[in-house]
Structure 1
Amino acid sequence: MGRLSMNIKLKHLCLFFLLTFLFKKNGFAYDKRKEISGIDTAKVFTLEDLQLMVFRFHPIIKQTALLSESAQANVLQSLGYFDPALKSTFGQKLFGNTDYYNKWSSELKIPLWLAGADLKIGYDRNVGNYVNPESRTNSQGLSAIGLSIPIGQGLIIDARRSTLRQSKIMVQYAQADQLKQINSIWYNMVKDYWNWYYAYKQFELIKEGLDLAQRRFKALSTQTLLGDKPAIDSVEAYITVQERMIQREKTAIELQNARLVLSNHLWNETGNPLELPEEALPQNINAVKLPGKLLIDSLLTQSSSQHPELIKLKSKSAQLEIEKSYRQEMLKPKLNLSGTLISNRINFTNNIPGYYDFNWGNYKLGVEFAFPLFLRSERGKLREVKIKQQELNYELQQSGREIRNNILSSYNDLSAYSSQLSLQQKSIQNQQFLVNGENQKFALGESTLFLINSRETKLIDMKIKQESMAAGYQKTLAELFYKAGTKQQIN
């Protein structure tokens, strides 16, 4: 019996030294490894820090500002239809000592907003032997001032006023589209941040479990060397260490990838990309506070009138209403009147006879009339606009309902997360009691290492699940504001 006992102890010692050799060969000693710097020296990168950097330097955020600038540029283009225009023509023919004609015509045309009229100021000088008598003037020429007014088609609204009004409405559309894109970009960034948070917490919990397994293996190895514990316990402890080492390497890659994804949103003031440092830590989630009904009611009220998607649809509706008015105006007959007072006066200093000066007896008058008999083109375009209005009204109704239901759905998800987190916290506390009790029983020789590892692994999994739910809650909270068409206030 003495020799048998000695052989068993020798086997235990050999097994112990073999495990120790394997441990060192794989580069893992008993000392705790430090993959990430401690809290006291590491930089906590908060969601507020991300917000400050993104809204100052992110190129896509800057790009969205171009939407509004582009719409303002279209307004400027539309105002060009009301720009005064100056034109002048000159022609002369001399042949065989004969002055056939010498023509000079100049005109300043000023488009007016009122009634679609045009104010015209002109000067004509047409002299020569073969100038048409109806346009011939004396050597001083004739000055003129007059108006051209559409009495029928174009009196209420014309193409240039329609274009200008629609371009001004498109500024509101562009601003709403800009806000929608900014909200979408920020929502995706928030999700990436909390994915990084979960990856970090998962890695930390796995590393903590590995440290526990390494310390337990060290303690069991010492007890095995003294003959207090069987070598099989050391083998089982070593297997647990190996399993958690594999988990740690897997979660380390996930953490690295999550850090890279979040780094996509980091830029400096000079437009160069930044990388999130490895020592950076996410902020902690101290407590989960479910938004109150007052906030939900406020978001519902705000979204019904200020949601970017609804503003875009309402802008389109206003644009179509202007287009409808213009198409209705095009159904009227075209009747343009033009009247011009003429005079020999070329400045305000010379004296000329009254019958050659500006008066109601010196004028030119013109009338232009046109009317398509069937109006098929105009009626077809008007019908097309009305159909688009109906489609837009249906889309506006459906979008409003979907926005409201999406907000309520996100709030329901938040409520579920809040309840689950509360239950998960209690379950973790109970599981911790089981682990502590199992360790005490094992110390007294009344339990096995398998039960300790099993309960401890379950505790780690429950903590990881808790962090997953906490990250999911934060992402759903950001989704709540995004669905309401606004941005979550970070403080």
Structure 2
Amino acid sequence: MAFKRVLIVLVLILLSVKMSFAQDPVVRKKVDSGKVFSLEDLQQMVFRYHPVIKQAALLSESARAKVLQSLGYFDPALKAGFSRKLFGDTEYYNKWNSELKIPLWLAGADLKLGYDRNVGNYINPENRTGQQGLSAIGLSIPLGQGLIIDARRSTLRQSKIMVEYAEADQLKQINGVWYGIVKDYWNWYYAHKQFGLVNEGLDLAQRRFKALSAQTLIGDKPVIDSVEAYITVQERMIQKEKTAIELQNARLILSNHLWNNEGNPLELPVEAIPQNTTLAIGRPNPMLLDTLLGQAANQHPELLKLRSKGEQLAIEKSYRQELLKPKLNLIGNLISNRTGFKSNVPENYDFNWSNYKFGIEFAFPLFLRSERGKLREVKIKQLELDYDIKQFGREIRNNVIASYNDLSAYAAQHAVQVKSIENQQILVNGENQKFSLGESTLFLINSRETKLIDMKIKQESMVASYQKTLAELYYKAGTREIMN
């Protein structure tokens, strides 16, 4: 019996030493003394330095660049040409032709300023100008097709609308990125809380094992209780290792979104801890649902994109309808020998209504099949777009309501879980008291304690799910919660 007692003592000492090495006080100390990294801190870093957020901002810049390209159709254009032929001491021709064309927004007209000088022995008489040349000022006005809208005005208007489309797409991308980041943050929150609760359970099991070991050595408790207590320690050590890896991975995933002002990636420190929001869980205000539904109906990025596309198609439709008209262009120029403002020119060679060039251009395809086909295609796209707007509007509304219902359900479940944890804690305390009086077993204590830990972990899971659903609610409404 003495040998058996010594063997038991040695086993208990070895188990106690092994258990002390598994305590991992460094990690626990870092977690307990860490600095809070709140969601607001994350938001500030993301919206300042995240490369995807910066990339999304380029969408509107690209659209504005296309507006600038479209304005190029209204840039004044200067063209000039010179040619001369001299052969056998004979000047066949000496031609200088130049024109400044200024596109006008009004009526699709073009203002033209020109100067021609065509001299030589073999110049066509209708083009000969004399040694001083001829100056001209005139207009080209479309009286039929192109009077209301033409290709360049259509392109410019559509490119301006594309800026609104790009801004809506930019908002959609930013909201999507932020929603994914918020989910990663609350996954890290849950992993951190789970690791802490498992660590607390391990501490309780270790302290109980030490107490039972001491009682076993003096003969107050049977050896089997110490063995059972150490089995519980081992189970919770395994669970701790598992949750430690999950916490490490969650920290790495959240680190994907951390960047500094120089564009270098950052790592979330091991000592960082998430904010505590257990007390903030509550039933959402019904006014929130009404606000988000109204905002979704008016400002949801997807609907804004569709409406911008509708405005674009409306312009395209007007342009295609304009193409059904015949081309009828009126071209008129006043001409003069004047080469400068101070030139002395006889009155009958100066700018007046008797010196002019005039012309009319007319063209009209007889069947208009191409134009009618393109117009019909635009109308079909408008119908498709109307159906898309109705369908997306309904889906967005229902998605917002569904997320709100999930949020309310999580709030209700959390309230029940808090009460259940309080009751379970009473059972654990009572079981410990009964065990100290010899009226209970270690198995019951471990079972009730394990269930309490699981219930607390489930509570933190509800907190994380509530916060992720809250972010989802704002995302489905086409916006995001602003952290203050």
1:482 matched to 2:482? The reply is no
- Equivalent residue in structure 2 for 1:357, among 339, 342, 350: 350
In the other structure, the counterpart of 2:442 is 449
- Equivalent residue in structure 1 for 2:409, among 408, 412, 416: 416
Secondary structure of the residue that 1:265 maps to in structure 2? coil
How many Å separate the matches in 1 of 2:11 and 2:239?
A: 23
How many Å separate the matches in 1 of 2:19 and 2:137?
A: 98
- Equivalent residue in structure 2 for 1:368, among 339, 347, 361: 361
Letter in 1 for 2:324: L
CA pair 13-224 structure 1, distance change in 2 beyond 3 A? farther
Deviation at 1:42, TM superposition (A): 1.6
Deviation at 1:34, TM superposition (A): 3.6
> Structure 2: which 5+ runs fail to align?
none
Contact 1:12/1:224 (8 A) holds in 2 = no
Contact 1:116/1:149 (8 A) holds in 2 = yes
1:138 matched to 2:130? The reply is yes
How many Å separate the matches in 2 of 1:345 and 1:224?
A: 123
1:293 matched to 2:281? The reply is no
1:219 matched to 2:215? The reply is no
In the other structure, the counterpart of 1:462 is 455
- Aligned pairs for 1:319-358 (under 5 A) are 319-358=312-351
How many Å separate the matches in 1 of 2:283 and 2:81?
A: 76
Contact 1:414/1:477 (8 A) holds in 2 = yes
Q: How big is each residue's C-alpha offset from its partner over 1:43-83, in whole Å with a ceiling of 9 and x where there is no partner? A: 11000000010000100100001000000000000000000
Letter in 2 for 1:246: I
In the other structure, the counterpart of 2:400 is 407
> Structure 1: which 5+ runs fail to align?
1-6
Letter in 2 for 1:431: Q
In the other structure, the counterpart of 1:426 is 419
Q: How big is each residue's C-alpha offset from its partner over 1:317-369, in whole Å with a ceiling of 9 and x where there is no partner? A: 00001001101111111111100000000111121111000000000011111
Q: How big is each residue's C-alpha offset from its partner over 1:106-150, in whole Å with a ceiling of 9 and x where there is no partner? A: 100000000100000000000000000000011000000000011
Contact 1:333/1:371 (8 A) holds in 2 = yes
Secondary structure of the residue that 1:132 maps to in structure 2? coil
Secondary structure of the residue that 1:212 maps to in structure 2? helix
Contact 2:31/2:271 (8 A) holds in 1 = no
- Aligned pairs for 1:101-120 (under 5 A) are 101-120=93-112
In the other structure, the counterpart of 2:74 is 82
Letter in 1 for 2:466: Y
Secondary structure of the residue that 1:133 maps to in structure 2? coil
- Aligned pairs for 1:165-314 (under 5 A) are 165-285=157-277, 286-314=279-307
Secondary structure of the residue that 1:37 maps to in structure 2? helix
Contact 1:13/1:225 (8 A) holds in 2 = no
1:393 matched to 2:386? The reply is yes
Contact 2:97/2:116 (8 A) holds in 1 = yes
Identity of aligned residues (%): 74
Secondary structure of the residue that 1:277 maps to in structure 2? coil
How many Å separate the matches in 2 of 1:417 and 1:257?
A: 26
Deviation at 1:19, TM superposition (A): 3.9
CA pair 257-413 structure 1, distance change in 2 beyond 3 A? same
1:42 matched to 2:34? The reply is yes
| Count, aligned residues | 483
How many Å separate the matches in 1 of 2:340 and 2:393?
A: 65
**Structure 1 runs of 4+ off > 2 angstroms?**
9-13, 26-34, 36-41
Cα RMSD of the aligned pairs, angstroms, is 1.3
1:383 matched to 2:376? The reply is yes
How many Å separate the matches in 2 of 1:439 and 1:10?
A: 32
Letter in 2 for 1:217: F
Secondary structure of the residue that 2:312 maps to in structure 1? helix
CA pair 29-226 structure 1, distance change in 2 beyond 3 A? farther
